[in-house]
A = this chain, B = another copy of it.
Amino acid sequence: MIYGEKNVEKPIRWAMVGGGRGSQIGYIHRSSALRDNNFKLVAGAFDINPERGRDFGVNLHVSPDRCYPDYKTMFEEEAKREDGIQAVSIATPNGTHYEICKAALNAGLHVVCEKPLCFTTEEAKDLEALSKKENLVVGITYGYSGHQVIEQARQMIANGDLGEIRIVNMQFAHGFHSGAVEENNASTKWRVDPKMAGPSYVLGDLGTHPLYLSEVMLPNLKIRKLMCTRQSFVKSRAPLEDNAYTIMEYDNGAVGTVWSSCVNAGSMHGQKIRVIGSKASIEWWDEQPNQLRYEIQGKPVQIVERGMDYLYPEALVDDRIGGGHPEGLFEAWSNLYTRFAKAMAAVDRGETLEDVWYPGIEAGVEGVRWVENCVRSADNGAVWVEYQ
């Protein structure tokens, strides 16, 4: 279905802020956006060093005069062109997301923004209001949510396959920062600096990912209160945490947990979500993203596979290759970027995209809000707090 068909009538004229030479995240943005002719890279402010940024852009076949020294110049200059950019992706350090996103919206651009959207709920609400006022799309790259079996999970839950939902256990717990790696690594260093990273490290950087998966799978679940305890096992990271546990009570009596960690020594990513109902459970793990364990109480465990006919139809629409052939994180991101493109095109046509969900501005707001509540709990002695 994706095999060569158009998702948008004309590729959207697109630029990046950040994501330059050596940026892994920049590459996955481009790789996902440019696939399938949804976007066309026509401009960029790729690097804080203008010259390096231009060189990089030219390598990507961007016209040299549209390789800008900074995002402000880019927004200004592109606005003057008939064929100026229509959308921009922001892949810069966390502390700059708010201002760039705001500027982009004010420039009338659709936005794709790395999470976190910003650092405070207040800022987040501000951006939300602005995007609504300007009628612009803001997509947040909760990339894992683009895996097709996440959609299968969503459909299974909606269809009652699990019974009444009782428990949601989540984790994103890797071990790559078990030691003080930031001492010699610029790309980690800013993450443990509150000025650059905001009020948390692993809660925001890691925990919000499976949290968003839970929002996709369980759109009706609302957190009522939570408690969070956080630790800095590498002492120099304090006050930012490198490990945290959050327990949540939901409106309907269900409970949830999130383990966020970068000191889970030896673990690759360890992002998992397990949703437990009165009849059955499902479990997903980011390192085997084409599979979903489906465990009906009293029956053999089933390994549900992407791409197979027995899935709900909604879980099949994004397939690029047959079941059994592993799709990876790039396909998940490509799925999101395709939906971003469709949503942008729909808005530009004066329509609304009804039939697909994607991580939009609300997802961005919710992530910021959750971190804020966790930090409030943790900093008050890991007490229970009402979710605000």
Q: Which of A73-81, A303-311, A348-356 binds B? A: A303-311
For A325, the chain B residues whose CB sits under 8 A away are 269, 286, 328-329
Q: CA–CA, A31 to B167, complex, Å?
A: 38
Once A3-B24, A247-B245 are accepted as A-B contacts, the answer to whether A167 and B308 lie under 8 Å apart by CB is no
For A86, the chain B residues whose CB sits under 8 A away are none
Partner of A265, one of B6, B229, B296: B296
Cβ A300 vs Cβ B304 within 8 A? yes
A304 to nearest B CB, angstroms?
Answer: 5
A159 to nearest B CB, angstroms?
Answer: 16
Q: CA–CA, A278 to B169, complex, Å?
A: 24
Partner of A324, one of B233, B257, B269: B269
A219 interface residue per 8 A CB criterion:
no
Q: CA–CA, A123 to B294, complex, Å?
A: 44
Cβ B24 vs Cβ A35 within 8 A? no
Q: CA–CA, A30 to B3, complex, Å?
A: 10
A38 to nearest B CB, angstroms?
Answer: 12
Cβ B6 vs Cβ A59 within 8 A? yes
For A50, the chain B residues whose CB sits under 8 A away are none
For A194, the chain B residues whose CB sits under 8 A away are none
For A222, the chain B residues whose CB sits under 8 A away are none
Partner of A4, one of B30, B178, B255: B30
For A27, the chain B residues whose CB sits under 8 A away are 2-4, 320-321
Convert A152-185 into 0s and 1s, putting 1 for each residue whose CB lies closer than 8 angstroms to a CB of B. 0000000000110011010000111011000000
Cβ B281 vs Cβ A276 within 8 A? no
- Interface residue tally for chain A (C-beta within 8 Å): 94
For A381, the chain B residues whose CB sits under 8 A away are 384
Once A27-B4, A245-B247 are accepted as A-B contacts, the answer to whether A266 and B297 lie under 8 Å apart by CB is yes
Once A166-B233, A264-B276, A327-B330 are accepted as A-B contacts, the answer to whether A321 and B24 lie under 8 Å apart by CB is yes
Q: Which of A15-23, A105-113, A131-139, A196-204 binds B? A: A15-23
Nearest residue (CB) in B for A162 is: B265
Among A36, A61, A309, A326, max chain B CB count under 10 A is at A326
A382 interface residue per 8 A CB criterion:
yes
Cβ B267 vs Cβ A295 within 8 A? yes
Convert A266-298 into 0s and 1s, putting 1 for each residue whose CB lies closer than 8 angstroms to a CB of B. 111100000011111100001111000011111
A contact set with B: CB distance below 8 Å: 2-6, 11, 20-24, 26-28, 30-31, 34-37, 56, 59-61, 162-163, 166-167, 169, 174-176, 178-179, 227, 229, 231, 233, 243, 245, 247, 253, 255, 257, 259, 261, 263-269, 276-281, 286-289, 294-305, 308-310, 320-331, 381-384
